[in-house]
Amino acid sequence: MEHIIPEMVYQAETNECALACISMLAETQGVNAPLDALRERFPASAHGTALSTMCDILSELAIPVYPVAFDLHELAELPLPAILHYGASHYVLLAYRQGSYVCVMNPAIGEQLLPIAALKSEISGYALVLDQEAKSAAPPREKQKRTRRFRALECMSLKQTAAIPGIYRLMLLAFLISLTLFIMPVMVSSAINNVFSSGGKTEFPYFYYLLAFVVSTLLAFFVRSVTERFIKRFVVMQSVSGFAHLLTNSLAFFEKRSPGEIFSRFSNWQMAAAQKIELDNGLRIDWVVGVIALGVMCYISPLLAAVSAIGVTLMGLVSVWAIFRDRYFTQQMQVKSAEQSDFLLETIQGFATLKSAGLTSQRQTAFTNYVVSLFDCRQKQKIYEQVKGSLYQLIGSLEMVFFMLLALPLLKNNSISLGEFFAYSFVRQIFTAYIAACATGTITIGDAFELIRHGRANMMLAGAGESLRSDSAVWNIDVLGALASEQEEIARACCPFSLHRNGFVLSEGAAVLCLEERESAIARGATILGEILGYGNFSDASDFTAPVEDKIARVQTIRHALQQAGVTARELDYINAHGTSTPLNDLNETEAIKIALGEAAYTTPCSSTKSYTGHLIAAAGSFESIVCLQALEHQVMPATCHLATPDPACDLDYIPNTHRPAVLNTTLNLSFGFGGANAALVIGRGK
């Protein structure tokens, strides 16, 4: 019989990991025991919960268990599900095995799929296992029919937004807009067939296609206004309900948490609610449009459609595998970074005791172990990222090879027309919508650069646009505390790297670059404005908005871009910094640049043009790439305006207030987005 895999239950208090594990174990046995109910019925002691107490609680829930002591080599034989004593004072639930891996449901950090060997280093050798003999004597219970087989589909649940009045009318409108994606393939197919079949004698209906594009654009504006009304209604309902639920908590709940933590969690949840309805609606439409696209490809050529379907399936399998590995490495990095940070803080706070007791050498040895453990994990993560990227690249390349291998003979034998060939290429062409907050524009350009560099495309349009004009959009950004609060002096409203900075000013716009393979651009006589030399993209995903204090991902992003470009730190002429005018980002970015470039950071001019333009959010990176190109063309470095009083901690050359002429050959564009999306582009002069 298959095990029931429970929902993940997170502990809300430091000492209630045992109750969270009991709640999850109860679900595996078909018993409904939510954490809130357990908390009221069995209040957790300030000193935690003993195994004997857990046995008593589970006995009252009619779930017979008994404690066991086992050796480390016996871990693989432990009957599952089981509650495991973990570390010095923690409990986790072992849900199931999968080969040499075991699913660990950790109430502190979430679900992990860990190698059994890695788990052995964390356990104490004690566990609670189900008493199968006592279970067989008990009357059978009706269990929930939810097994691991369907867990992969749970992340796509749309139930929360399905009950919103009018949601399916919104879906229908957005679906009609999505169908306009097929206008371009139809137009290209008709135009090419018209030229080659009739020699262009038949007049092509350009006007009707132009009219279709105009109508689709107007419909898109209408759908956006309707969507914003739905989002506002949904967010207001969720926010009021959530705030009411927050007020129902006991006084102890607020005493155990700082106001900053409560505010941060509630604000982040509120913003996530604003995104929920749009994401759900997009997911519904994407499935339908994907099926239609596959149907169109099958209509043109079932054989070619099979190649694309196999490619998508293989990439999907890689993505499913990557979900668990990404989660594992993210959690491991968080845990090991936290352990090292705790050790450092403990050392600093108890420094007098350590010196008087002569324990410095012991602490040095212990710190070495923490550092080795952290960077061993980071090394494995980098190797895994390379393997994952290589698999995606290999599948994409093989799909292209097989597509051309099959398509060209079909075209030669007139099994498909030239117009159908191009139409099919449009339908299956790489069309990726990136959502990476403030780094979106830079990432789209960088990924387009990589696709051309690896021969998967010859020419690509890459960029981003943003228009956060709705009340809900502005309100969501303001809730984060990122908007400038200055009302009197406009020079203090957006002043990156200034001592008086307090946030940025929102702006709207779009910026798109045309990237083309160099030889192709030269052959057609294109005006080359510049050249992408290197691209870096490392994410940290530590916090919803705040940058990670260790700055590792930002430093790696800069160094990787320079390394790929073959440019040393001293050869860099100018940096267009992300520079958002927020207290956290500007200081963190300054320190990241200094770590990445070393002494060269102090001699490399950099500036933030957001002091002139405001923050275009998604479009910022692509717009500032154009700024770098213009700086190269005109040999002028743009200034950071409003920088009257620099922050002493931001001590680099920020080109204050006045543009500076210079000989420029190589520039660096930096974009650091909310949620830890970091990207960098090295842009050189066109030769």
Annotation says 615 is catalytic: yes
- Euclidean distance between CA atoms 172 and 280, whole angstroms: 13
If DSSP codes are grouped into helix, strand and coil, which group holds residue 67? strand
Tokens of 460: 């690509």
Residue 270 backbone dihedrals phi, psi, to 5 degrees = -65, -40
If DSSP codes are grouped into helix, strand and coil, which group holds residue 127? strand
- Spatial CA neighbour of 153 closest among 287, 28, 278: 287
- Euclidean distance between CA atoms 345 and 363, whole angstroms: 12
- Euclidean distance between CA atoms 44 and 15, whole angstroms: 7
Q: Count Cβ atoms within 10 A of the Cβ of residue 145 and give its class: 0-12 exposed, 13-18 middle, 19 or more buried.
A: exposed
Q: Is-contact 480 499, C-beta < 8 A? A: no
Which H or E element spans position 476? helix 471-479
Q: Where does 42-166 have alpha helices with state H?
A: 51-60, 116-119, 132-137, 159-162
Annotation says 650 is catalytic: no
β-strands 574-576, 606-607 pairing: parallel
Query: Could you say which of 85, 90, 560, 578 is catalytic?
Result: 578
Query: Could you say which of 85, 90, 560, 615 is catalytic?
Result: 615
DSSP string spanning 426-460? HHHS-------GGGHHHHHHHHHHHHHHTTS-SEE
- Spatial CA neighbour of 171 closest among 299, 307, 278, 259: 278
If DSSP codes are grouped into helix, strand and coil, which group holds residue 462? strand
Annotation says 438 is catalytic: yes
Q: 332 — alpha (psi -120 to 50), left (phi > 0) or beta?
A: alpha
Q: Is-contact 666 681, C-beta < 8 A? A: no
Tell me how crowded residue 678 is: count the other CB atoms within 10 A of its CB: 29
The torsion angle over the Cα atoms of residues 304, 310, 313 and 319, rounded to 10 degrees, is -100
Query: Could you say which of 21, 103, 377, 438 is catalytic?
Result: 438
- Euclidean distance between CA atoms 23 and 36, whole angstroms: 10
Which H or E element spans position 663? none
Whose tokens are 């564009």? That residue is 669
The residues carrying an active-site annotation are: 438, 578, 615
